[in-house]
Chain A
């Protein structure tokens, strides 16, 4: 069954209710796992809501891609929520904690919904759910910069949604249907008759999605929003929410419009230009940052550039490399944000110039941070390397080795801002008092999710076939 039902939790007033928070999420995760295995065995199917039929009803497309990504979204959110149960009371005003969890569940509902849906207007509705809930989990922390960051994010998000809806209206004007499958049947005759309309609609929709996915020139909301938010929301936003819009763009461009038309208007080429500029400029901006969360946010801009590069290449290998990088970046960035949050929780330091000797006071956290950072740079043995490897192959397949040079150069830039943190933490300890390394007493609910994610990073670094098998079976449904 379509396991999109994530209930709104009862508003409990005290923290004994952690069990109530975790249990529906575990139930939904179990249902999604069951659906995923079902789809693996029996093939995909379309699910009509209320049995109205695809021409006038809303349809969910339960196939390998959507169930796999929804499983990924749910498992990562499960780990982040387990982590957040301890850290949240330090960051937000205490009576609003149940509200925070309700918002988180609505966010997860929005993300799973937008991955599964097969209908354009339903996508718009879920996009608006995501817009309001993701802005709310930033502004729920009552600091000065949170309000302005949430306002900027909200206005830009709404601009993106409206431009997307304008494109949907234009597309509806010429095809008369909102279902992806139905549009695809009619798109060829539309392209010959109304090519200007289609061009305008696609341009507006891609721009709207690019604002929300923080592709390079339109990324200006991302540093403020992700750096000032509470840690679990930063991890969720940076690891999952920006990717969902790329999924929507993938579904729109490849399933509704069809690759032949998209290639004829040279959309993939423009997307790769924007992606390349994002990769370089994101890392360039990150080098000058002193606040650790802002640095991680700029690094997100660069990594999203990688994903959009893979998406813009347009071949089967490019798409599977992009999807693999979605998963690996989600894992690594979540790990980095969670360990940064643990550092802030324990010591209250956010400035990376004050990290001296932190490796001796909190060795476990710094080791986990190092795993994530090395994965981001692309050291072999971790999953970041494997995703750059696949992207490199995809780039070479279309005979544009300049992109490979840019990717290597940006790996070098990544190293330039991650290595100083690791070196400062481990090697520049205080010389006068020899501190021994002792395992710090971080709460177990915080350590276990981080350690799980780090373990998954290392495992997928050595055995990427676990994920690539499923990805390579899911990608041909697009092309």
Chain B
């Protein structure tokens, strides 16, 4: 019972780890190139979830001064620093997704397929080694 409670208290971190592994599995096993990109996005979501939930303080206020028109700073605030860093991370993730999708379009124009095993058969002579 206690371990379930300990897990429920930290469900954010466990969720982040599980999502990371799911994303990694998707990238490594699916032969379809777009599914790999989706796997990368799932992994990115996991990492952002972890980072944002690091800054969360249980039962604290949002980090905005003068939220309720009082002049003093009340109690603990949620740490805004990880959230700011994740904004940068989200931008990076979006740009990598955009770039990889455009590469997939070009690969489709050249090879006619976006399944990796069919592309490897088409390449034939240049071995993987």
Q: Which residues of A contact B (CB under 8 A)?
A: 56, 121, 124-125, 128, 131-132, 135-136, 139, 144-145, 147-148, 150-151, 154-155, 158-159, 162, 165-166, 168-170, 172-173, 220, 223, 285, 288
**Which B residues from 23 to 70 make CB contacts under 8 A with A?**
24, 27, 33, 36-37, 40, 43-44, 46-47, 50-51, 54
| A162 contacts B44, C-beta separation under 8 Å | yes
| A128 contacts B33, C-beta separation under 8 Å | no
Residue of A nearest to B119 (CB): A148
Q: Which one of B37, B40, B119 lies within 8 Å of A162 (CB-CB)?
A: B40
Top-4 shortest CB links A-B: A169-B51, A128-B92, A173-B54, A169-B50
Q: Which residues of B lie under 8 Å from residue A223 when comparing CB positions? A: 129
**Is B81 an interface residue, CB under 8 A from the partner?**
yes
Q: Which residues of B lie under 8 Å from residue A145 when comparing CB positions? A: 123, 126
Q: Which one of B96, B119, B126 lies within 8 Å of A128 (CB-CB)?
A: B96
Q: Which one of B81, B99, B128 lies within 8 Å of A135 (CB-CB)?
A: B99
Q: A170-B50, A288-B129 are in contact. List 16 more A-B contacts (CB 8 A).
A: A121-B88, A131-B96, A132-B99, A135-B99, A136-B99, A145-B126, A147-B110, A154-B99, A154-B100, A158-B40, A159-B24, A159-B43, A162-B47, A169-B47, A169-B50, A220-B128
Consensus secondary structure, chain B interface:
helix
Q: How far is the CA of A154 from the CA of B102 in the complex (A)?
A: 12
Q: Which one of A125, A151, A165 lies within 8 Å of B47 (CB-CB)?
A: A165
Q: How far is the CA of A220 from the CA of B85 in the complex (A)?
A: 31
**Chain A's nearest CB lies how many Å from the CB of B16?**
8
| A151 contacts B51, C-beta separation under 8 Å | no
| A121 contacts B96, C-beta separation under 8 Å | no
Residue of A nearest to B84 (CB): A121
Q: How far is the CA of A465 from the CA of B66 in the complex (A)?
A: 62
Residue of A nearest to B128 (CB): A220
Q: Which residues of B contact A (CB under 8 A)?
A: 20, 24, 27, 33, 36-37, 40, 43-44, 46-47, 50-51, 54, 81-82, 85, 88-89, 92, 95-96, 99-100, 103-104, 106-107, 110-111, 119, 123, 126, 128-129
Residue of B nearest to A156 (CB): B27
Consensus secondary structure, chain A interface:
helix
How many pairs of residues, A versus B, come closer than 8 Å at their CB atoms? Answer: 77
Q: How far is the CA of A472 from the CA of B42 in the complex (A)?
A: 44
Q: Which residues of A lie under 8 Å from residue B43 when comparing CB positions? A: 159, 162
| B40 contacts A155, C-beta separation under 8 Å | yes
| B92 contacts A151, C-beta separation under 8 Å | no
**Chain B's nearest CB lies how many Å from the CB of A155?**
6
Q: Which residues of B lie under 8 Å from residue A148 when comparing CB positions? A: 107, 111, 119, 123
Residue of A nearest to B105 (CB): A147
Q: Which residues of A lie under 8 Å from residue B20 when comparing CB positions? A: 162, 166
| B89 contacts A165, C-beta separation under 8 Å | yes
| B129 contacts A285, C-beta separation under 8 Å | yes
Q: Which residues of B lie under 8 Å from residue A125 when comparing CB positions? A: 88, 92
Q: How far is the CA of A173 from the CA of B13 in the complex (A)?
A: 11
| B103 contacts A150, C-beta separation under 8 Å | yes
**Chain B's nearest CB lies how many Å from the CB of A107?**
15
> Can you list 7 A-B pairs, Cβ within 8 angstroms, ordered by A?
A131-B96, A139-B106, A162-B40, A165-B89, A172-B51, A220-B128, A285-B129
**Chain B's nearest CB lies how many Å from the CB of A110?**
12
| A155 contacts B100, C-beta separation under 8 Å | yes
| A147 contacts B96, C-beta separation under 8 Å | no
| A166 contacts B36, C-beta separation under 8 Å | no
Q: Which residues of A lie under 8 Å from residue B104 when comparing CB positions? A: 151
Q: How far is the CA of A165 from the CA of B99 in the complex (A)?
A: 20
| B103 contacts A151, C-beta separation under 8 Å | yes
**Chain B's nearest CB lies how many Å from the CB of A284?**
10
Residue of B nearest to A166 (CB): B47
| B92 contacts A139, C-beta separation under 8 Å | no
Q: Which residues of B lie under 8 Å from residue A285 when comparing CB positions? A: 129
A159-B129 contact in complex given A128-B96, A151-B33, C-beta closer than 8 Å: no
Q: Which one of B24, B47, B103 lies within 8 Å of A139 (CB-CB)?
A: B103
A154-B95 contact in complex given A148-B119, A165-B89, A169-B50, C-beta closer than 8 Å: no
Most buried by B among A136, A158, A170: A158
**Chain B's nearest CB lies how many Å from the CB of A168?**
8
| A144 contacts B111, C-beta separation under 8 Å | yes
**Chain A's nearest CB lies how many Å from the CB of B29?**
13
Q: Which residues of A lie under 8 Å from residue B85 when comparing CB positions? A: 121
Q: How far is the CA of A435 from the CA of B99 in the complex (A)?
A: 50
Q: Which one of B46, B54, B103 lies within 8 Å of A154 (CB-CB)?
A: B103
Q: Which residues of B lie under 8 Å from residue A220 when comparing CB positions? A: 128
Q: How far is the CA of A288 from the CA of B127 in the complex (A)?
A: 11
Q: How far is the CA of A39 from the CA of B99 in the complex (A)?
A: 39
**Chain B's nearest CB lies how many Å from the CB of A174?**
9
Q: Which residues of B lie under 8 Å from residue A136 when comparing CB positions? A: 99
Q: How far is the CA of A36 from the CA of B100 in the complex (A)?
A: 38
| B100 contacts A151, C-beta separation under 8 Å | yes
Residue of A nearest to B100 (CB): A154
**Chain B's nearest CB lies how many Å from the CB of A436?**
37
Q: Which residues of A lie under 8 Å from residue B123 when comparing CB positions? A: 145, 148
A151-B107 contact in complex given A165-B89, A169-B47, C-beta closer than 8 Å: yes
| A132 contacts B95, C-beta separation under 8 Å | yes
Most buried by B among A128, A144, A151: A151
Q: Which residues of B lie under 8 Å from residue A144 when comparing CB positions? A: 110-111
A154-B96 contact in complex given A144-B111, A169-B50, C-beta closer than 8 Å: yes
Q: Which residues of B lie under 8 Å from residue A169 when comparing CB positions? A: 47, 50-51, 54, 82
